[in-house]
Amino acid sequence: MLTTSKATITLERFTAKIRPLLSRVYTEQQIDDLLPRLYDLTKDQLKAHSQEDLGKWDQDKILLITYGNSICSDDASPLQTLHQFLNTRLEETVTGVHILPFFPYSSDDGFAVIDFLEVNHSLGNWADVEAIGRNFNLMFDLVANHVSSQSEWFQQFKQNELPGCNYFISLPDDTPTADVVRPRSSPLLTPVETSQGVQHVWTTFSADQVDLDYGNPDVFLEFINIMLAYANHGARYIRLDAVGFLWKSLGTCCIHLPETHALIQTFREILQMIDPGIALITETNVPNRENLSYFGERNEAHMIYNFSLPPLLLNALMQGRADHLKTWMMSMPPAPIGCAYFNFTASHDGIGMRPTEGLLEAQEFETLIETMRSFGAKISMRSQADGSESPYEINISLFDAMQGTAQGPDQWQIERFICSQTVMMSLEGIPAFYIHSLLATPNDLENVAATGHNRSINRHCWEKRRLDALLNDPETPQSIVLAELSRLIKIRRQQKAFHPNATQYTLHPDNPAIFAFWRQSIARDQSIFSIHNLSNQPHTLRLSELNLVNTDSWMDLISGDHFEDLHATYKLKPYQSVWLTNCPYYDSSNTPDQVDLEFLYQV
Task: Tell me the per-residue pLDDT of 545-572, one tens digit each, with 9 for 90 and over.
Answer: 888 888 788 999 999 999 988 888 999 9
CA 578 to chain centre: 25
Residue 603 has pLDDT above 80, yes or no: no
Residue 601 has pLDDT above 70, yes or no: no
Tell me if 349 is assigned to a ligand binding site: yes
- The strand ranges marked E within 307-443 are 340-343, 351-352, 378-383, 389-395, 404-405, 408-409, 430-434
Kindly calculate the radius of gyration of the chain based on its CA atoms and give it in whole angstroms. 24
How far apart are alpha carbons 376 and 378 in whole angstroms? 7
Parallel, antiparallel, or unpaired for β 197-202 and 554-556?
unpaired
How far apart are alpha carbons 393 and 183 in whole angstroms? 10
pTM over 0.75: yes
Query: Residue 460 in contact with residue 448, Cβ under 8 Å?
Result: no
Of 322, 288, 279, which is closest to residue 307 (Cα–Cα)? 288
Catalytic residues: 241
Tell me if 146 is assigned to a ligand binding site: yes
- 7-42 pLDDT, tens digit per residue, is 578 999 999 999 999 999 999 999 999 999 999 999
* H-run or E-run covering 314: helix 309-319
How far apart are alpha carbons 335 and 300 in whole angstroms? 12
Task: Put the strands of the sheet holding 503-506 in their side by side order.
Answer: 503-506, 514-520, 527-533, 577-581, 554-556, 562-563
Q: How confident is the model at residue 310 (pLDDT cuts 50, 70, 90)?
A: very high
Q: 199-238 burial string, b = 16+ CB within 10 Å, else e?
A: bbbbbbbbbbbbbbbbbbbbbbebbbebbbebbbbbbbbb
How far apart are alpha carbons 432 and 64 in whole angstroms? 6
| Percent of the chain residues past pLDDT 70, beyond the cut | 96
* H-run or E-run covering 262: helix 258-274
Of 521, 505, 421, which is closest to residue 58 (Cα–Cα)? 521
Tell me if 453 is assigned to a ligand binding site: no
Tell me if 455 is assigned to a ligand binding site: yes
Taken in order 298, 300, 301, 306, the sign of the CA dihedral is negative
How far apart are alpha carbons 478 and 414 in whole angstroms? 10
- The number of residues in the chain equals 603
Per DSSP, 598 falls in state G
Of 375, 377, 425, which is closest to residue 95 (Cα–Cα)? 425
- 111-145 pLDDT, tens digit per residue, is 999 999 999 999 999 999 999 999 999 999 999 99
Confidence (pLDDT) at 600 = 33
Tell me if 240 is assigned to a ligand binding site: yes
As to burial, measured by CB atoms within 10 angstroms (0-12 exposed, 13-18 middle, 19+ buried), residue 449 is exposed
Per DSSP, 595 falls in state P
How far apart are alpha carbons 307 and 366 in whole angstroms? 19
SS3 17: helix
Q: Which of 145-154, 161-170, 552-561, 586-595 bottoms out in mean pLDDT, i.e. has the lowest? A: 586-595
Residue 588 has pLDDT above 60, yes or no: no
Confidence (pLDDT) at 3 = 57
Q: How confident is the model at residue 385 (pLDDT cuts 50, 70, 90)?
A: low
Mean pLDDT of 469-490: 98
Tell me if 325 is assigned to a ligand binding site: no
Tell me if 302 is assigned to a ligand binding site: no
Mean pLDDT of 77-103: 97
- List, in order of start, the domains of the chain with CATH numbers: 148-211 (3.90.400.10), 501-602 (2.60.40.1180)
Confidence (pLDDT) at 236 = 98
Q: Which residues are paired to 405 by β-bridges?
A: 408
